[in-house]
Amino acid sequence: MQVSFTAAEIAALIQPKTVRGSTAAVIHGIAGLSDAGAGDLSFLGNAKYKVEVAASKASIVLLPLDFAGEPQPDQQYLLVENPSAALSKLCSRIEQSLWPRPTAGVHPSASVDPTARVAASATVGPQCVIEAGAVIGERVHLQAQVFVGRATTIGDDSWLMPGTVVAAESVLGRRVRLQPGVIIGSDGFGYEFAEGRHVKVPQVGQVVVEDDVEMGANTTVDRARFSRTVIGAGTKIDNLVQIAHNVIVGRHCLICAQVGVSGSVTIEDYVVLGGQVGVAGHITIAKGTKVGAQSGVAADTEAGSFLNGTPAINYQLERRLVVLQRRLPDLFKRVDALTAQLRDAEKSSSG
């Protein structure tokens, strides 16, 4: 990563509420508190690392407003409401310099059907395929080997990274970002058992991805059996997630890696699903629900609930049960001992 920022440039970008100390160093890197050296910027994003701030050698440290310490010589503290969010502003600027927007146009190796409409400001990379009737919006960036199926729409300012597939009649909104290997619009997993075999149920619906959605590498979203599979505006999906047919995902949800969502599930707004959560079909995950990692959700949830375990139950209750479960071996030993005492007492009384 080749970057170069003065302290004044960083302060102008992130607009700190308070500045403590000063530094003449030019920032060339970003590092954790314990690993940073002169010329690095670091931040306190988690309170458990607070003890590392005083010893950090970073030239600039982003800190929360309530931090009470003082910087070392030639070191500057920038106090902001949210250090992690402030760092994101800087990283966004770095990203723009590392991956500048390419020159608009269609690469000679790309295959674009004559009936497709590609905006003049869009970029179509090497070996892309755009089928009949597809619409590619303004400033869209299709990197190498992207497939855009028949009658698919890609909204303005979207960015599809190498190897992504958007199958026929899918709709992507504006500013959608798909990491490498994402597949949108693959057939839903639908079969009926008839005459001794599994008969494929045609999947004739579509996928609609609304504005500002991001999806991680190798995530898949299946087309609906009929009607639509929907990913709501602002939702962020991690790597290796499976969204089945006719699922409706609400707005501004967070779905972490390796989550599997079965068919016809409704996930309402602001839901958070931890890594490897499994969701059974035909249920509703209510607004604001949070589900801990590796949990299994098999029933409707209540709005704002925090669940954990398999089957998923109230988080606090599940934690208590885990503690009690660890005590079961001792409990059985005590029960066995009491049983033996009772047996001995019965023998003594009968004798």
What residues are labeled active site?
Answer: 245
User: Residue 148 pairs with which residues in a beta bridge?
Assistant: 130, 166
The first and second tokens of residue 131, run together, are 């089928």
How far apart (Å, rounded) are the C-alpha atoms in residues 215 and 287?
21
- What is the number of residues in the chain? 351
The residue with tokens 């000063």 is 22
The first and second tokens of residue 300, run together, are 């409707």
The first and second tokens of residue 262, run together, are 């079965």
Decide if 169 contacts 149 (C-beta within 8 A).
yes
Q: Helix (H, G, I), strand (E, B), or coil: what is residue 42?
A: strand
Own/partner long-range contacts of 196-203 (Cβ < 8 Å, ≥24 apart): 201/225, 203/245
Q: Which of 250, 243, 247, 244 is nearest to 228 (CA)?
A: 247
Q: Which of 45, 140, 151 is nearest to 88 (CA)?
A: 45
Peptide bond into 180 cis (omega under 30): no
